[in-house]
Chains A and B, each alone.
Chain A
């Protein structure tokens, strides 16, 4: 690893930054770290654009992580000048002038050492003041190691007074202890908040992904749009990697011939055609009545970001009428399609959801959508308003498809409660699953591909 005089601060910061990225769940291996430290001496670090790109190009290997990287970078390196002279203060720069540089260096080092000795989880729990107090308490009595002048902390209770600090020429300098404490507190706070950047980003994401979908506020939904996109992309590449060729098919004549030419055309080596797994076909039926339409919205968004994984996706929406909305999505982006769906199409006939009627309609009008390869997803709370459940039609759907899944946003203990007939439908499905949040939805999609 390359270490250069005058660069310990940079290295230190880079390690901190790598930790932040890791906290934000970007995977960074030793190879990447080494590449970064090899790269840094080659570039002009005072050019922010070049610096940023050098970090990005060496550390981030998955382009879906780039937005996360950018956010972390902006927060972490806000104010380049603070970074490059090893100082963490700009608002207090006037103060800084009054304090010898070595003292600040010392303080920096001690803060770093102190924070490194603490458990990261502990840092997340405590607030800045508590950690500051701990720092002051742990300071060794009269620690004057390093450049000299750290004896200020002997008066750690913060009583006003003055102290001695030896400058380079041995001259005593007087510094206001209150100001010194201020400076120290600022340095500490900045450091702490920087360390938390990645964690906080990740926590926010986890929070959104795990939140009950019907509790999401409009602002959060907007925030999640990007998240859903990124998540979908990740899921997509993971699945496409996994379903690469598995089963062996017949002999690949072309390749066998060509390879065996070297044996005079005698087929010594055989090559087989690799049977590609068929991409599944998907039929999605979403209940869009008030009680579940938030779920349907996310389900539809997710299926459409994953569209290329399926050979065919047909989408239906219903309340008491089954309506195909596949074309709607073909014409506009999913976001707008969903919005227009709620205004355009007439789903209702009579009052409230009527699952039975809708399944009957489906069998009657759209049973061509069902083949041996089709997976059928139904999203709804199975609250049939005491209508005819249409169980015959539902069984037919099951018989004619490869598998049939039901995603139920209701809590499990509410199934069969009141007008819900969840277990009646559930008995005909391969599985009825409770989904509460976005993570459940995507997990389900992921699993769908495992079963094939």
Chain B
């Protein structure tokens, strides 16, 4: 648990995550208030990374659930391990007939069997999926529900139930409840709007591209071998490129890739000729590269 916002920043930095004050404030509050956080923002600004770093900063387990279209309860909550159940009944055939042997009538046999059926619907045959796992853990975990915007709205509705009560009912076994609420982080690339009900239950955090100073700090932390001068040039160039109307703007990870590549290639200085040659590290579309080339004078000449 972080004591205050400053400590959150410091602890996250130890995990090599540079959090802005905004990010740290929301994280701190979410932990204090035990509320889920919905993190939105463009791709590649470190939304997933944030969850991972919080988990390691607090030294607790991270349970991750990747959302996709068609994700249902069976994949998110629990599933009976059918094959194992079948296998066990086959193996235990002899044992079963032994138990049943004394019964002469059919109804007697059914009664006997039903008294033993709990064996086959016990936790042994249950495959816990991420959400159930985080609830049965009984110690604090970080539950990362990644790219929630990719899931269907039915799944979102189901998630609401879990997020408000943190309990799961399995008809055959009973209700699982937790005293220690997991810290839930939902990330979204805003492919679609989340329902108001879900938003109401969460704190909201919008992570935008970092400021120049913050991004410089990030690069110098992650790619320490690059010199200060190179870092500044790279970051400034990336920021100017983001101003263009691109199909896909370069994110932080692309900035890092670029800096790494330049270091590997042995450059200590980003002169325009090199920059133009290595543009494909940060821009992933031919059209975007063309556009950047057109504006290369403004971007790379300081």
* Residues of A in contact with B (beta carbons under 8 Å apart): 27, 29, 31-32, 35, 38-39, 42-44, 47, 49-50, 53-54, 56-58, 60-63, 66, 237-238, 240-241, 244-245, 255, 259, 261-262, 330-333, 336
Beyond A53-B21, A262-B80, is A44–B4 a contact (Cβ under 8 Å)?
A: yes
A-B contact pairs, 15 of them (CB 8 A): A31-B200, A32-B200, A49-B21, A49-B22, A53-B26, A54-B25, A61-B196, A61-B200, A63-B41, A240-B192, A241-B192, A244-B153, A244-B192, A262-B80, A331-B291
> What total count of A-B pairs have CB within 8 Å?
88
C-alpha gap A261/B287 in the complex (Å): 48
- B40 contacts the other chain (Cβ, under 8 Å)? yes
- B32 contacts the other chain (Cβ, under 8 Å)? yes
Beyond A49-B21, A244-B153, is A63–B206 a contact (Cβ under 8 Å)?
A: yes
When C-beta atoms are compared, the residue in chain A nearest to B70 turns out to be: A255
- What chain A residues lie within 8 Å of B199 (beta carbons)? 61-62
Beyond A43-B5, A50-B21, A240-B193, is A57–B205 a contact (Cβ under 8 Å)?
A: yes
Q: How far is the CB of B155 from chain A (nearest CB, A)?
A: 12
> How many residues belonging to B are interface residues under a CB distance threshold of 8 Å?
37
C-alpha gap A38/B28 in the complex (Å): 13
Q: How far is the CB of B273 from chain A (nearest CB, A)?
A: 25
> Which one, A38, A63, A336, contacts B204 given CB within 8 A?
A63
Contact between B193 and A50, CB atoms less than 8 A apart: no
C-alpha gap A305/B81 in the complex (Å): 47
Contact between A53 and B201, CB atoms less than 8 A apart: no
- What chain A residues lie within 8 Å of B291 (beta carbons)? 331
* Residues of B in contact with A (beta carbons under 8 Å apart): 4-5, 21-22, 25-26, 28-29, 32-33, 35, 38, 40-41, 70, 74, 80, 82, 152-153, 190-193, 195-196, 199-206, 245, 287, 291
Contact between A43 and B29, CB atoms less than 8 A apart: yes
When C-beta atoms are compared, the residue in chain B nearest to A333 turns out to be: B245
C-alpha gap A240/B195 in the complex (Å): 12
C-alpha gap A302/B204 in the complex (Å): 27
When C-beta atoms are compared, the residue in chain B nearest to A252 turns out to be: B70
Contact between A53 and B32, CB atoms less than 8 A apart: no
C-alpha gap A63/B190 in the complex (Å): 9
Contact between B287 and A331, CB atoms less than 8 A apart: yes
- What chain B residues lie within 8 Å of A332 (beta carbons)? 245
C-alpha gap A58/B25 in the complex (Å): 11
- What chain A residues lie within 8 Å of B74 (beta carbons)? 259
When C-beta atoms are compared, the residue in chain A nearest to B153 turns out to be: A244
C-alpha gap A331/B291 in the complex (Å): 8
- What chain A residues lie within 8 Å of B22 (beta carbons)? 49, 53, 56-57
Q: How far is the CB of A336 from chain B (nearest CB, A)?
A: 8
When C-beta atoms are compared, the residue in chain A nearest to B34 turns out to be: A38
Contact between A237 and B192, CB atoms less than 8 A apart: yes
Given contacts A49-B25, A54-B29, 6 further A-B contacts (CB under 8 A): A43-B5, A61-B200, A237-B190, A261-B82, A262-B80, A332-B245
> Which one, B5, B26, B192, B201, contacts A44 given CB within 8 A?
B5
